[in-house]
Amino acid sequence: MAKRHTHTCPIAGVLNIFGDNWTWLIVREAFYGATRFSEIMRNTGIARNVLSERLDRLLEEGILRREDVGANGTRYAYILTDKGESLYPILLALHQWGNAHVYGPGNEPVLLVEKATGLPLRPMAPTGSDGATLSRADILTEPGPGASLATQRRLAEATRQSQK
């Protein structure tokens, strides 16, 4: 069963989980292959108590799972779940946006290249059912089955405004 949220907005729901930079950096480290508490702490510079809190939240949300890998005592590895793995396109989009708009062409700190060709990835973009790239004007925002009355009203008003 889905969790109940105070805002029926997917962006607000995501920000309730990922509303700070440390959480995204922990997820980044998981994609880079870091699994141990000490690795994540060293690679991000995050304080021990903050890392502990953020890991607990990611475990609670089902984004990471914890495995006991200690031969002599308890040692944990933090591993992405399928839900966590599904964050990859978002992380790639943030990565590409950062390279393009924070650092700029020719100053990218980390490049994303296709393994088979060595060529840079194309910028992330929404695609339609036919595979064509869509612009913002090609996409409608409609209330879903979980939308509150306030969300339904807000989206109806936004639709009326865009039709003017």
- Tens-place pLDDT, residues 72-103: 767 899 999 999 999 999 999 999 999 999 99
Query: Residue 1's pLDDT is what?
Result: 41
Query: Residue 6's pLDDT is what?
Result: 63
d(CA 2, CA 49) in angstroms, rounded, equals 29
**What letter represents residue 43's amino acid?**
N
d(CA 72, CA 105) in angstroms, rounded, equals 49
Query: Residue 70's pLDDT is what?
Result: 77
Q: Which residues in the chain come in under a pLDDT of 70?
A: 1-7, 73
Q: Which two tokens stand for residue 22?
A: 């440390």
Domain 1-85, second-level architecture: Orthogonal Bundle (1.10)
Query: Residue 22's pLDDT is what?
Result: 96
- Tens-place pLDDT, residues 31-42: 999 999 999 999
> What's the predicted TM-score (pTM) here?
0.84
**Secondary structure (3-state) at 159:** helix
